[in-house]
Amino acid sequence: MPTAPEHRIRNLAVVGLLSGIIAFVAVVQLRSQAEVQASLAGQDNTALAFLIDDLHRAHDTLEGQAASLAHQAQSLKAGGNNAAMVALSAQQQQLQIVDGLVAVSGPGVVLNVTAPLTAVDLQDALNNLRLANAEAIMVDQRRVVAESVIEDSNGQVLVDGAVVGDPWTFTVIGDPTQLGTAAGLMARSLDSDPRVKSVSFRSNPNLTIGAVIRAHPFVYGRS
């Protein structure tokens, strides 16, 4: 049984540790707030209005994700073995789609571009589509995720070592409204680019992306 002085030392240590954690969290929070404020300095009203729109969309997406996770947690808590299997199977399907490991179907857009685009152009296009909540993307016949390696090589663009474009076909599955808006903006921007010979897009309620990413088991990392 610990003596009174040992008790006091332990209590002091716990208080000290907690104070340290609180101070750390407060500093991190203040620093991130300061970063947000610093990044906003000098932004005009139009830029801020666009940012607000982005943040609203991010909020909707995060709320949707939180609701779905809360439902999943509830199923795992309440159910027995069968409920756990159902919840795990649903998770498996979702994550396989996110990781690009399985073929997928769903609504979305197909964007066609005839132009000698570069790796930077391709990255920009992919960024725009992902910010419009694209859930699966195929460029020509290559499935693309953020880990896909995109590079210029001898005047051609490679995705994971394979040549893609020109002409380019982006097949994208996700929220058809958001993707339609993003594709429209991209088409307008590309249309004013002198390198671009033609650009068009169409929405489609039932697209299929057959290309998949090969799984890379971790060799160095562990969870």
Partner 1 sequence: MDLRRPGAYLLAIVALAFGFVVAVQWRSQLIAPGNRIEQNQALLQSVLGLERQNQQDRSQVASLRVQIGNLEADASTRSDQTNQLAATVNGLRAEAGATTLRGPGLTVTLDDGKKGPDLQGATAWVVTYQDVQDVVNLLFQGGAEGVAVNSRRITPLSGFQGTGGTVVIDQGPPLLAPFRISAVGDRDAMQSLLSQTSSLGDLRLRQRLYGVSLNVDLSTQITLPATDSSLEVRFAHSP
Closest approach of partner 1 to the CB of residue 89, in Å: 7
- Whose CA is closest to 117, among 147, 146, 156? 156
Rule CB under 8 A: say whether 38 interacts with partner 1.
yes
Which one of 15-23, 56-64, 163-171, 183-191 is the stretch in contact with partner 1 (CB under 8 A)? 56-64
Closest approach of partner 1 to the CB of residue 172, in Å: 10
Closest approach of partner 1 to the CB of residue 112, in Å: 21
Residues of span 149-188 touching partner 1 by CB under 8 A: 149-151, 173-176
Task: Decide if 168 contacts 211 (C-beta within 8 A).
Answer: no
Choose which of 15, 22, 26, 47 interacts with partner 1 (CB under 8 A): 47
Compose the 113-142 pattern: x for residues touching partner 1 by CB under 8 A, - for all others: -------x--x--xxxxxx--xxx------
How big is the site for partner 1, counted in residues (CB under 8 A)?
92
Rule CB under 8 A: say whether 21 interacts with partner 1.
no
Residue type, 42: G
Shorter beta-carbon distance to partner 1: residue 104 or 190: 104
Task: Decide if 125 contacts 186 (C-beta within 8 A).
Answer: yes
- Whose CA is closest to 113, among 158, 159, 170, 188? 170
> Each residue of 24-57: b (16+ CB within 10 Å) or e?
eeeeeeeeeeeeeeeeeeeeeeeeeeeeeeeeee
Residue type, 135: E
Closest approach of partner 1 to the CB of residue 105, in Å: 4
How much is the CA Rg of the chain, to the nearest whole Å?
Answer: 24
Choose which of 81, 155, 194, 214 interacts with partner 1 (CB under 8 A): 81
Residues of span 99-118 touching partner 1 by CB under 8 A: 99-108
Which helix (H) or strand (E) element contains residue 68? Answer: helix 45-78
Shorter beta-carbon distance to partner 1: residue 97 or 187: 97
